[in-house]
Amino acid sequence: MDNNCRMQVKCGVDSCHYWQDSMCHADQLEVNPMSGKANPHTSDDTCCKTFKPCR
């Protein structure tokens, strides 16, 4: 995939493996509702499943 076609995703979780300069550098991003939140209405009701802790 051409990097010019990729969507830029800001990220504030600097303890994630994919974090670099306040941006997510994962090839794919998965975001799901938090458990028990069938219909999220705010970002607080969601969870990034792409997170991978730094080593």
- pLDDT for 5-50, tens place per residue? 778 999 999 999 999 999 999 999 999 999 877 888 888 899 999 9
Give this prediction's pTM. Answer: 0.76
Q: Please choose, from the candidates 53, 15, 54, 9, the residue with its C-alpha nearest in 3D space to the C-alpha of residue 31.
A: 9
Distance (Å, rounded) from C-alpha 43 to C-alpha 21? 21
